[in-house]
Amino acid sequence: MIKIENYINGQLVAPQMGNYLDNVEPATGRVYSLVPESTESDLELAIQAAEAAKENWANTSLEKRAEILCRLADLIDINADELAKAEAIDNGKAITFAKAVDIYRSSANIRFFAHAGTQFSSESHAMGNLAINYTLRDPIGIVGCISPWNFPLYLFTWKIAPALACGNVVIAKPSEVTPMTAYLFSKLCIEAGLPAGVLNILHGTGGSIGGPITTHPKIKAVSFTGGSATGAHITKATAGMFKKLSLELGGKNPTVVFADCDFDETVSEVVRAAFSNQGQICLCGSRIYIERPIYDKFKATFIEKVQQINIGDPLAASTQHGATVSEDHMNKILSYIELAQQEGGTILTGGKRRTLDGRCKDGFFIEPTVIEGLSNQCHTNQEEIFGPVCTIMPFDTEQEAIKLANGTQYGLASSVWTNDLKRAHRVAKQIEAGIVWINCWLLRDLRTPFGGVKSSGVGREGGLEAMRFFTEPKNVCVKY
């Protein structure tokens, strides 16, 4: 049984209290490793290490920081097969998806921010002949980065890379549900020569170590990705502490399909948007609105394609749809499918747990599920299910589609499918979301602002937004 270790002061160490949690492989339902249940005493060690490393790292040249980060990115690429396999075992996602998306993006994140660090510049504001203002952008110091289980290494690196590139020292906590790749990553940090204490990785639950990280007085900024309820909890727990908070939270994203779309491409992409990563992407389009003239044709083709998704062992190269992340999460998703039927919905395809043969016979697999006949206001259409479940609904006018799309508390992402250029811009402008994709989904440029509005979050990640978050601006005004 693998015993995962914390990474503190450049070393792999056991948790101070010696407590561990079971780590389950979702595809088999079996415990296959142990995760440290870290506590405040581990955090204190990490804080001491970070304090000791802070000044040196902040004063390390941009080129040197970039060099170390690029070495880390290279090591991820060199170990991509091992990391993809670890991610597939730990999370239940298909190994081909893990390699092409998770691991590919993890090294891309680090390389992108390594370069961003060398290109980042600050502003100056001249006041005629009177004075000049310039903005210093210094590292904040010790920052906390907390990430979820759906893209374990991808979202972990998305946070720590800009934090480190800006010269901060980091205390990071991956999800206790999927800790393995962050653990493997800590070994790569040692191999890459990242100085001790610059990054410290503590494993454990939100209660035992996540909460203490967010409220520790020496941690001046917290970048969090996870559920909206946890985000609200962190906001309350840190109220009055004047920390910088970046909150990337849940979504219930609309997909709006107009009758003039490129039909075949749209259906394929809308399937991908709904079910990639077993529907466990904050950006997945789970409410699909279809203009009435093509509703029946779209529905038939959509269902046909959904039924072709290959459910299987995450470790098989042919698998497109693996296991959901845990038994609890599987049960939550199944309870929503039950609720959808009580709310009057009709299951058009899927709707059940799938039992596989062989080593995956006890795995947490759920069939891709499409539901019809629900109102926009019902729980199924209002609450984030975060699984392979989507609803389809017809609409008649553009204004109605926008109203339906905006009709939840969330506002993370959306996609709009049309060949009418004017309408595309008009609708994009009116949708309440941090991201609108037109005739595409999950096409990502790492320079763009990433994040949500309403209950989907506060602040933006990506590109300059992340560099600004992880630095403290100071205006210096010099009179001539």
Site of interaction with ligand NAD (CB under 6 A): 146-150, 155, 173, 175-176, 205-206, 210-211, 214, 225-227, 230, 233-234, 248-251, 282, 384, 386, 412, 452, 457
Rounded distance between C-alpha atoms, residue 197 and residue 7, angstroms: 9
CB closer to ligand NAD, 33 vs 175: 175
CB 431, min distance to ligand NAD, A = 16
Backbone φ, ψ for residue 151 (5° rounding): -130, 80
CB 60, min distance to ligand NAD, A = 28
CB closer to ligand NAD, 72 vs 201: 201
Q: Residue 332, CB half-sphere, CA atoms under 13 Å: how many? A: 12
At 422, is the secondary structure helix, strand, or coil?
A: helix
Contacts of 151 (CB under 8 A, 6+ apart): 101, 102, 105, 277, 281
Rounded distance between C-alpha atoms, residue 78 and residue 81, angstroms: 8
Rounded distance between C-alpha atoms, residue 257 and residue 415, angstroms: 8
Rounded distance between C-alpha atoms, residue 99 and residue 296, angstroms: 36
Distances in Å between the Cα of 219 and the Cα atoms of 213, 216, 245, 248 are: 7, 6, 11, 18
The active-site residue, picked from 248, 291, 384, 432, is 248
Rounded distance between C-alpha atoms, residue 119 and residue 330, angstroms: 44
Rounded distance between C-alpha atoms, residue 384 and residue 231, angstroms: 14
CB closer to ligand NAD, 261 vs 288: 288
Rounded distance between C-alpha atoms, residue 293 and residue 333, angstroms: 31
CB 218, min distance to ligand NAD, A = 16
Q: Residue written as tokens 């980065």?
A: 145
Rounded distance between C-alpha atoms, residue 222 and residue 458, angstroms: 12
Tokens of 266: 């749209």
Pairing of strands 365-366, 353-354: antiparallel
CB closer to ligand NAD, 107 vs 238: 238
282 is catalytic: yes
What residues pair up with 466 in beta bridges, in sequence order? none
H or E element in which residue 36 lies: strand 30-36
Q: Both ends of the chain: CA-CA distance in Å?
A: 68
37 is catalytic: no
CB 454, min distance to ligand NAD, A = 12
CB 182, min distance to ligand NAD, A = 10
CB closer to ligand NAD, 95 vs 385: 385
Distances in Å between the Cα of 125 and the Cα atoms of 49, 119, 121, 129 are: 38, 20, 13, 12
CB 282, min distance to ligand NAD, A = 3
Residue closest to ligand NAD, measured at CB: 206
CB closer to ligand NAD, 302 vs 437: 437
DSSP strands (E only) in 147-267: 169-173, 199-201, 219-225, 244-248, 253-257
CB closer to ligand NAD, 110 vs 146: 146
CB closer to ligand NAD, 258 vs 275: 275
Residue type, 74: D
Rounded distance between C-alpha atoms, residue 146 and residue 214, angstroms: 9
CB 468, min distance to ligand NAD, A = 17
Residue type, 72: L
The active-site residue, picked from 261, 282, 360, 390, is 282
CB 56, min distance to ligand NAD, A = 28
DSSP strands (E only) in 233-328: 244-248, 253-257, 285-291
CB 394, min distance to ligand NAD, A = 26
Residues recognised as catalytic: 248, 282
